[in-house]
Structure 1
Amino acid sequence: MKQIERSLKEMILIKEIWRDKENFHIKERLEKNEDYRRAEAESKKCQRKNSAIRQMKREKELASKREARKDENYRMAEAESKKSQRENSDLRQMERQRELASKRRARKNKDFNIRELASKREARKDKNYRRAEAESKKSQRENSDIRQMERERELASKRRARKNKDFNIRELASKREARKDKNYKRAEAESKKSQRENSDIRQMERERELASKRQARKNKDFNIRELAAKRKARKNEDFKRNETEKKKNARQDENYRKHESKRDFHRKQEYRSHPENLENERLKKQSCRQKNLDIDRYYDKTVKSAKRKNIDFTDHEKDLKKKRVQANKMGFPQRPKELNLYPLEERLLSLRIPFMQIRQLPRGGQLSVKGNVVNVPVEVQPTINSLPHTLEKSGTISVKLKKKLEFKKCDFSENVRPFAVICALHYLMRTRDLYKSSGIEINEDWITEIAETNEKETQNEKNSTEQDDDQDQNDSEDDSDHFSEVDEKEIHVGNTDTLLDHIPDDNPLCDTGFTFAPGEGQRPISLYSDPDAECLSFPTIFCGKKKAR
């Protein structure tokens, strides 16, 4: 029986060997066929898409590797092959990335993280392991990229941990406990100094501090404590001196100055939004100005004079004035060239004459009105009729303005241009309603009449000059060799030029002046019953327009 069993086993083995050989030969023949190889690759791809099949295959490979690694020779050969592969930097990098990717996937599982931390703690109990780990970290930190990555990883982990309030409390307690040691504080200060030498780190630290302060200042209790601490610290003169120096250095930056001005403006707006604060500020300023009147004036003058040296500030000040004037409807219209008149020329055109006493204040040099203002209506028609009509733009006459013609003293005297006065009156009568309704009548043809008379006079003068030239020519032909207009023996002493013009005999107006009393016999009008008194009194300022109400 035993022989039979043995023979049967041998036959089965022979059949299996034969079958394996036959399958091997079949595989060799099939692998030479391209269609078979393509179909086999597609079937493998389809299998790999299925996660269950991949997992089964992975487990089978791992089990076979574990079984093979029990042999020392296999392990030795595998280690040598890995060493030879690691000599290539590209392979090392690929292997490192593969390991990191596998660790990241595994660390998504909490149980794996717990086991990994427990194993690390257990391993770090060994001094040799700790020493080797520290040396490896030192060698890695020599590379700036690795240091930066490690720093970012630590910061990210700290940010995640600091979201927990208990961790923050424990961290602050540990820092306070550690800072009790003088050596630790000294080392911390030195490390901060070395970091602050870098401008980027200083900027980041400053921004971080400002962000934390902004966050903390949302709490009213923190603001109260901060103000109390600042008041207490400012009692020390050294602290105040350092604070002022820091502000001076910071204000050299234009962006800081703009930010500071905006911040102060918003703070003042918020403070002045309460009427009680506004009244207290007004009373405080009033009392301060009464005490230090001269000092405040001198300070304001010096500050404004220093600011006005900058063109941008003066332009900004002008723009502000224009905006205020437009907002309050207190601006003056643009003056046309026809109304560029002197003071007495303006008085001759105005339909109202305001009599007032203007005196200079003892301080500041400003002008003020003393006493009452007498508003006297005026008839312009007789004054215009009395003025000589001439086309000479530069021609002037002497005019005196009196309250009454019988008075010896005149209130105002000046040389007046009749042409400018009449042109200005024409402009006002054409364009302004206040003057259209005044009833003034002007001869519109005075320009043409004067032009015709001037043409006749010029023609007569031309004829007379031609006759004189003919006579002079005849005389010169007779006595051309011996005549000389200049006596050679005559000696000229001083300047022979003169500014005297030729005054004709038929123009008596050049020698005598005009005296007007336009307000004589008129009854004054109250300013309350005459709303357009200012516009009619000063036509060069208001240009004959009514004020906006």
Structure 2
Amino acid sequence: MTKARQNKEFRESELKAKQRSREQIDTKQKERKSTLKAKTKARQNKEFRESELKAKQRSREELETKQKERKSTLKAKIKARQRKEYCDLEIEMKRLLRKNPLQLEKERLKKQENRKVHRQMERCRDKLSKATKRKTFALVDHERLLNKKRHIGCTIDESIVKFHARVANGPIYACSCCHQTWFRKSVVQLDKAHITLESRQLCTDLTSVDGKQWLCSTCLASLKEEKVPKLSVKNGMLWPKKPEVLNLHPLEERLISQRIPFMQIRELPRGGQLSAKGNIVNVPVDIQPTINALPRQVDEHVTIAVKLKKRLSHKSSCFSENIRPKVVLKALKWLMENSELYKSENIKIDETWEKRITEANDELITELTGSSRSKDDRDSEEASDDFCEISADDGTQGNTDTLVDDTDFDTNKIYVFAPGENQKPISLYEDKDAEYLCFPSIFCGQRRLDNEKRHKNVHYSDIAKWGIEKC
């Protein structure tokens, strides 16, 4: 046999005979039985089993072998599922397994991973197909036209209707994270936003439209990444609480501000918005002479005419308005008690003027009548509402207490102030507190938080944009 096998023709004829025999079922079964017996004998040896396992693991690491195994298992399952008994048994096994919550979680995670892979594949296909199609200019023009029709409308009437629908509601949607107001297209409901519970804790309880909490797109993007938004309230971006005392008119605010920003504010030709033109001159002011010059009035509603000038010698004034002296003094007193910026200035407010006025009135009455009034008498007179224009004794007509009226007060008198006269302007880059000292009714005499105390650094450009949107 060995000599015959050396011949090539004999070997080929022998292989063909084996192939023909293997095509028969009997020979196949005999070969399988012989191989199984040989494997069972060999597997009794421990070393052979270990080597066989290692060989299988190596083959499974290759993609081709994995695909072959999957195909073989799928074919076997398809054949088995043709029988009803196997299908029923498989359904029962799944039901038993799904009673375990760990199995359910495993299935959910597997489905999620499969969906991610399918989505990525679909996105890649879409990108490739769009990139190839967009090489033609006709498709690009068609897409632009469709976008215009979708946003603007096909006809003029439709575009007008859409425009009025968008402008009907202004920026009335307040973000519960940054407290800024937005349009409807820029916000999402907090309940429908897909964010974690930790991110939800960064939002406040602020509600606006329909009594619901809303989130703007900028805050939502950072909350999805589980980061603190730059302009959020939790990052220290919040206006101080304004008391009623600081509800002042523009000129009343100027009289108690330690800095006066001289600038030209003009109305834009389109839109009617105000804009600053030219340079802004930051002038420091000494409040004490202005406060001393203000007339003291008992009634809060008494107003006086005031003109603000750059110099007293100038004919024209920068600002003129009627102010309430008592309200101005109250606001300054509150700032002196609650603001560190005003406490350091050591401004003194004369609080004994009411006592001096009452004493002067008492002296005048004693001179005219020859009798003095006690404090109880004054309180009883103030509390009593009885008024009679005709006296019971002598029948004289008119108001009997006209002698104690303040007849010297001239309502037509105009007070002129030039607090910035002979003062050297300070550069806005050098004066760090200029913004807080210029507008005490907005900042309430308080500084902003430093970036060291924030969770996330905020640039001044972001603060300026945030302030414009908040106002």
Q: Which structure has more helix as a fraction of its residues?
A: 1
TM-score (norm 1): 0.40
TM-score (norm 2): 0.46
User: Which protein shows a greater Rg?
Assistant: 1
